[in-house]
Amino acid sequence: REEEVPVAELAERSPSPVRITNRDRVIFPDAGITKGALADYYEAIAPAMLPWVANRPISLVRCPQGRARKCFFQKHDAGSFGDHVHHIPIREKDGGEEPYLYIEDAAGLLACVQMGTIEFHGWGALIADIERPDRLVFDLDPDEGLEFGEVTAAAAHIRDELAAIGLATFAMVTGGKGVHVVAPLRPEAEWPEVKDFARRFATALAETQPQRFTSALAKARRKGRIFVDYLRNERGATAVMPYSARAREGAPVAAPLTWEELRALDRPAPWHVGDVDDLVRRAASRDLAGWGRADQALPGV
């Protein structure tokens, strides 16, 4: 649909092509962070974040009235996000097809924020080939009361086990309670094969160290253990994207870090939206330059 935009409005849009309305609306009451501040966060972090979030199907956690009010997880949409948020039709399990969302640039990120988005989650595959994952993720979910040191040690153990079979991995704090261990993949194997690998790996962990790990979804099995959520690796599943803010108390963010940093970390969510300068600087640092990058395939494929 062609639309004529008055010249005055075009000028107003410049330099940022996305206008953020209600900049003073408080999105994080506890942290005092407004919609405008959240938009500024995403604009600043965009260069670091886009390599991970662009050009893959995304799901959004939207809280239009702020995180203290109703939030919802949105997977698809027919077009209310404007020109900077794109669609890719994806066939679902039930045989139907839905328009999934993807973005390409900072304007896309900001268009989502304008629509009340706090969190960005993504598929483990690019829109160029949605059937072949470019990433494997083990989502470590500790039982309540478990010390964070147990989680960092468990993540390092998983790193070592995967390294032993030829997979380099990278650590990310989710901004919540756990850690994601991420293995980039060349998009070769399809979802069922990747999921099967993840299931077998998680099951083996739980069998060899049952006091430490469980791969069972049942909450009762988690007592004092770390749930290795391998189900992030099935078609249609998502994981929170690097540098996404979280709709949780204090405006924490998901953040890549080095294995050395993770080993020294004593709390799960060290970075917040307000740490944007530090996060931007870190992302450009030599230590994190290679984060999430490895040219590798699923073992035995």
| Residues 223-262 within binding reach of ligand ATP (CB under 6 A) | 229, 232, 238-240
Neighbours of 156 (CB within 10 A): 17
List of residues 6+ apart from 15 with CB closer than 8 A: none
Q: Is 139 in the site for ligand ATP (CB under 6 A)?
A: yes
**C-beta neighbour count of 54 within 10 angstroms:** 20
What are the residues whose beta carbons fall under 8 Å from the beta carbon of 156, sequence distance 6 or more?
Answer: 259, 262, 263
Number of residues that bind ligand ATP (CB under 6 A): 13
Q: Does 176 bind ligand ATP (CB under 6 A)?
A: yes
Question: In the bound complex, what is the minimum distance in angstroms from residue 125's beta carbon to Mn ion?
Answer: 19
The kind and range of the H/E element at 122 are: strand 117-122
Number of C-beta neighbours around residue 29 at 10 A = 12
Local structure of residue 32 (DSSP, 8 states): T
238 interacts with, out of ligand ATP, Mn ion, none, CB within 5 to 8 A per kind: ligand ATP
For ligand ATP, which residue of 174, 214, 215, 233 counts as binding (CB under 6 A)? Answer: 174
Quick one: 228 or 276, whose CB is closer to ligand ATP?
228
66-85: contacts with ligand ATP (CB under 6 A): 73
Can you spell out the DSSP letters for 72-94? EEE-B-SSTT-TTEEEEEEE-TT
112 is an interface residue for ligand ATP by CB under 6 A? no
Residues 292 and 254: beta-carbon distance below 8 Å: no
Q: How far is the CB of 96 from ligand ATP (least distance, A)?
A: 18
141 binds ligand ATP (CB under 6 A): yes
Residue of this chain nearest to ligand ATP (CB atom):
176
User: Tokens at residue 136, please?
Assistant: 């494997």
- Contact pick of 108, 178, 242, 252 for ligand ATP (by CB under 6 A): 178
Residues that bind ligand ATP (CB under 6 A): 73, 121, 139, 141, 174, 176-178, 229, 232, 238-240
